[in-house]
Structures are given as structure tokens and as C-alpha cells.
Amino acid sequence: MTSLRSMLYHGSRLLLGALFCYAGLVKALDVVAFAGSVANYQLLPYQLNFLVAGLLPYVELAAGLLLLAGLQVRPAVLLVAGMNGVFIVALFSVILRGLDIDCGCFRPGGEGHTSAQLALLRDAGIMLLALVTWFCADRRNG
């Protein structure tokens, strides 16, 4: 890898890994509050909100840990990008339906309010990090 490509790869991989470890951990520490955040999107039947809230934090945490460790990077970044893509679609749905809810990403049930529009901008940045990580990853070791 060239020096710039290597720096981009490691920087984006580590930042993505840290973001998803943090997001997963925060959600795992208060699954009930996260279930409420999931329910606010009004996309799933009641029971599925709890299933998503119970599983998603650990999937995020696992993907983040793989990225931080530099193990199975391409599958982990594909998972991260897929989750991020689903979330982007959910945010567009919230905006189109005129809902004013907190995204629930980094502090479910916590202080403050992150609008869907601001969350979309943040997710565009996360998707950019995922793309950089994907295209800069060494295909033999990723």
C-alpha cells in the first residue's frame, strides 16, 4: 500500500471501529431506552422493536471490534455500511413522514436531540469512511 492509501485505510478503519464500538456499547447498556428509540421510527411491529434493540448493539460492537483489530475488515465494513444504509433509509422515512424524533444512535434515552437531518449528514460521513475503508483495504488480508 502506498503511504497515503495506508493512512486513509487505517484512519478510516479505526475511526469506524471506534464509532461502532461506542454506539453498540451505549445501546447495550440501556436496551430498554434503545427499544424506545427504535419504536419512535414507527417502522416495525411492537415485538420487533425489542428484538432489534436486543441484537443490534452487539452486531455493532462485534463489527467495531473486528475493525479495530484489523480482522475480517472487508466483511466488517460491509456489515457496517449495510447497517448504515438501512438507517439512512429509515431517516429518510422519518423526514418524509414529518416525525420529529431523536435518532437514538449514540445516546438512546439520553439528553439532547439529534434531528433526522443532522443524523443523515453524520451517516453520509460514516458511509464515506466505510467506502474509504473498503476501497483501501488489502483484498488478501481484509
pLDDT digits (tens, 9 = 90+) for 11-57: 999 999 999 999 999 999 999 999 999 999 999 999 999 999 999 99
| Residue 10 in domain | yes
Q: DSSP letters of 8-77?
A: HHHHHHHHHHHHHHHHHHHHHHTHHHHHHHHHHT--S-HHHHHHHHHHHHHHHHHHHHHHHHTSSHHHHH
CA distances from 100 to 85, 86, 110, 115, 139 (A): 20, 19, 16, 7, 42
State how far the Cα of 48 lies from the Cα of 83, in Å rounded to an integer.
16
Q: pTM here?
A: 0.89
Q: Could you tell me the pLDDT band of residue 91, with boundaries at 50, 70 and 90? A: very high
State how far the Cα of 119 lies from the Cα of 109, in Å rounded to an integer.
16
| Residue 89 in domain | yes
State how far the Cα of 91 lies from the Cα of 103, in Å rounded to an integer.
8
Q: Could you tell me the pLDDT band of residue 109, with boundaries at 50, 70 and 90? A: low
| Residue 109 in domain | yes
Is pLDDT above 80 for 140? no
| Residue 120 in domain | yes
How many folded domains does the chain comprise?
A: 1
| Residue 138 in domain | no
Which three-class secondary structure state does DSSP give residue 82?
helix
Domain boundaries, position 12: 3-133
| Residue 140 in domain | no
| Residue 40 in domain | yes
